[in-house]
Chains A and B, each alone.
Chain A
Amino acid sequence: MSRVDVRKTHKLFIGGAFPRSESGRTYEVTDSKEQFLANMALASRKDARDAVLAARSAVAKWSSATAYNRGQVLYRIAEVMEGRREQFISEVSDSEGVSSRKAGAHVDAAIDRWVWYAGWADKYAQVIGNTNPVAGPFFNFSVPEPTGVVAAVAPQDASVLGLVSVVAPIIVTGNAVIVMPSSSRPIPAITLAECLATSDVPAGVVNILTGAPAEVMPWLAEHADVNALDLTGIVDEGVAADLERSAAGTVKRVRGAAPHADWQATPSLSRMRAFVEVKTVWHPMGV
């Protein structure tokens, strides 16, 4: 007789812990053949506000960690994900209805993306910062600093590669993130949360809310303690426009929707640039 397996309860990931939704709500997730996979927590406004609190509390420590330290933490995520490679492949395969081979390519690319961004931690400031030869006896330089708390929507199709491609560039520069993974394919996101929880990533740096972006994101777009929005995974243009308008209330930085980007391609600096502020310092030079 075959063994009856133990199935996992899928919960949210807030402040390094795995709570159920405060609302008590769940929603059903099926595979590509409409077969039941799991009941996911359906995040509420209160969950979003808890996540903002957790993210805000994490920013000070994470952004003041050395770049070298942040790089090693991101690299550690890749190490831990590599150990769960088979689990990710089966979850991606089930969720997206793709072959194990194709799922494997997505998972490998997701792991490698952490490595790619890990290497950027102590380099992006060297590439996008500079000294400025001002016409006077001053030493003048510009450095990028993290924006703060970013609320993001991961792409709906690429359940793990898209999620990593959105989260990694936000946190590598020292931001904290509240991210909504693919609504219909959220299971790999919770496995990623388990990797993050065991990878030396400080609690609150990444918070994952499963559920409906159209319901939760408006609260985050209006929240005064959120500094920026990444609308990558928003498919509906009207929803995206509404969120952009809400963001104006506290002058949030907004990166627009790009739901069908090519996630296998090597990224550029664009996502890191979107969530940093440039600070310029003047200092006189003279005896």
Chain B
Amino acid sequence: MPFDYAPAPESRSIVDIESNYGLFIGGSFIEPTSGGFFKTINPATEEVLSEVAEAGQADVDAAVAAARRAYDKTWSKMSGKDRAKYIFRIARLIQERSRELAVLETLDNGKPIRESRDVDLPLVAAHFFYHAGWADKLEFAGYGPDPKSLGVAAQVIPWNFPLLMLAWKVAPALACGNTVVLKPAETTPLTALAFADICQQAGLPPGVVNIITGAGETGRMLVEHPDVDKVAFTGSTEVGKAIQRAVAGTKKKLTLELGGKAANIVFDDAPIDQAIEGIVNGIYFNQGHVCCAGSRLLLQESVADEALASLKRRLTTLRLGDPLDKNTDIGAINSSMQLSKIEELTASGEAEGAERWSPTCAIPDKGFWFPPTVFTNVTQAHRIAREEIFGPVLSVLTFRTPEEAVAKANNTPFGLSAGIWTEKGSRILWMANQMRAGIVWANTFNRFDPTSPFGGFKESGFGREGGVQGLGAYLNVEDPS
């Protein structure tokens, strides 16, 4: 008789969601002049969680003006030592409230509580802690004796790691002396609004951080605002290209962190069980809503059958369901729109001749769900091998020689990440050298740390987040000569 897990739901009583939220401008929540609000839902239940303001042009103007005032009057004049203290306070407040923020993230995003609690929130706090320390040490970062801030940063972030992407944007911007206007994704605004409360608790001077909610149109107004000095965007390659066009011809500095189609390459000498865990983590972590996901699995032919059998056996043990349940591995797809996109691309995979497989798993009645899926017999011409699916869908290809693996791995317009699985150290380093990708994981995957720069080659964007290199995105590093 198979044993089953008893439900182990995390309590949601720790969060206190208000019925509606205004815009966080100049240190307080204000009503949008547009008067418009939109709903944000729990994608696992379709329950409406709250209504948030839709920022229009006048609101964007007000937010940028507040950021400019704060930059001119306080933040750019404050010593690095004092900026550091505010950012340390924020890091500590996030640690103190991390369970609350994890539950809120899971409710609004659909990701398993195990991930929001054990991955997202610890990284969020760490990111602020790390960058706090840089605020008074910028002269040691290799950008000259007295590196200067840029000014007002316009930041637009995605829905896959809402608070973590906020941290990646806000922490370095503040550490380097900039003020920010941040727009969270329209489907996941709640933790950014909770962060506004944290800024208040930290006593951060008004206007240093402004958070405006809205959809793509609000984001467009923000990045096109003439009084913005810096634009930072994480999201789709398509929108990233539009932003690069919009910024062209202005003096704005730009960094983009866009899509990916990472190859996860398994050689015949790899420790297979460890590799399978890495493959599963690489593509099914966060429902595959990960720009650096290992969405193309390249198996060396001699171990392909064995590895596939292991992978399928492992996938039958994944638990899909209530994201608040501490035993859940796969949560909800973030939105019906994203679900449609995944369904469309997987249908194309079948239509183009690839072979589809999913473990049998019960799909809840309400909410947006997609089972973990594997495609075999995939060719490099298939859309599922070329386009970013951003869902729990793995495309499997094979190779015979390291050179063939390199050619296939690099055969993509993207270049965000790559994975290498082999016991041979010299091969890891040779392969890492050959990869046209910003992050290379060897015998591991999806590792993140604030000290480690993250960002892509090619159409996966430019600029880095984290580490010493990440500071360059928020400092005036251009030397006219």
Chain A residues near B (Cβ < 8 Å): 67-68, 71-72, 75, 112, 115-116, 118-123, 126-127, 137, 139, 266, 269, 283-287
Contacts and interface: CB of A to CB of B under 8 A. Distances in A.
Given A71-B129, A115-B84, A285-B430, A122 B451 contact: yes
B442 to A, nearest CB: 11
A273 to B, nearest CB: 12
Given A119-B135, A119-B137, A127-B468, 20 more contacts: A67-B451, A115-B81, A115-B88, A116-B81, A116-B136, A119-B84, A119-B133, A120-B137, A121-B133, A123-B137, A123-B140, A127-B142, A266-B136, A283-B429, A284-B425, A285-B430, A286-B426, A286-B430, A287-B402, A287-B427
Chain A to chain B: the 10 pairs with minimum beta-carbon distance, closest first = A119-B133, A285-B429, A284-B426, A286-B426, A139-B429, A287-B402, A285-B430, A286-B430, A126-B468, A127-B140
A217 B324 CA distance: 59
Contacts of B429: 139, 283-286
B258 interface: no
A282 to B, nearest CB: 11
Contacts of A75: 88, 129
B389 to A, nearest CB: 31
Q: Which among B84, B129, B136, B427 has the greatest number of chain A C-beta atoms within 10 A?
A: B129
B208 interface: no
Nearest to A78: B88
A115 B426 contact: no
A127 B143 CA distance: 12
Contact of A269 (B133, B140, B402, B433): B140
B136 A286 contact: no
B132 A119 contact: yes
Contacts of B135: 119
Contacts of A116: 81, 136-137
B137 to A, nearest CB: 6
A162 B356 CA distance: 68
B130 interface: yes
Nearest to A121: B133
B430 A68 contact: no
Given A115-B88, A285-B429, A287-B427, A71 B402 contact: no
5 contacts: A71-B129, A123-B130, A286-B426, A286-B430, A287-B402
B22 interface: no
A8 B81 CA distance: 35
Contacts of B132: 119
B332 interface: no
B333 interface: no
A111 B405 CA distance: 54
A285 B433 contact: yes
Given A285-B426, A286-B427, A68 B129 contact: yes
A178 B88 CA distance: 29
Interface in B101-136: 126, 129-130, 132-136
B456 interface: no
A72 B433 contact: no
Nearest to B136: A116
A115 B85 contact: yes
Nearest to A128: B140
A126 B427 CA distance: 25
A68 B128 CA distance: 11
Nearest to B424: A287
B467 interface: yes
A200 to B, nearest CB: 13
Contacts of A126: 451, 467-468
A127 B84 CA distance: 19
A268 B475 CA distance: 22
Nearest to B434: A287
Contacts of A71: 129, 133
A184 to B, nearest CB: 31
Contacts of A283: 425-426, 429
Interface string B125-159: 01001101111110011100000000000000000
A287 B88 contact: no
B133 A120 contact: yes
B130 A122 contact: yes
A118 B133 contact: yes
A190 B184 CA distance: 49
Contacts of B427: 286-287
B430 A123 contact: no
A137 B430 CA distance: 9
Given A283-B425, A286-B427, A123 B433 contact: no
Interface string B431-470: 0010000000000000000110000000000000001100
A228 B287 CA distance: 52
B133 A122 contact: yes
Given A115-B84, A120-B137, A68 B126 contact: yes
Contacts of A139: 429
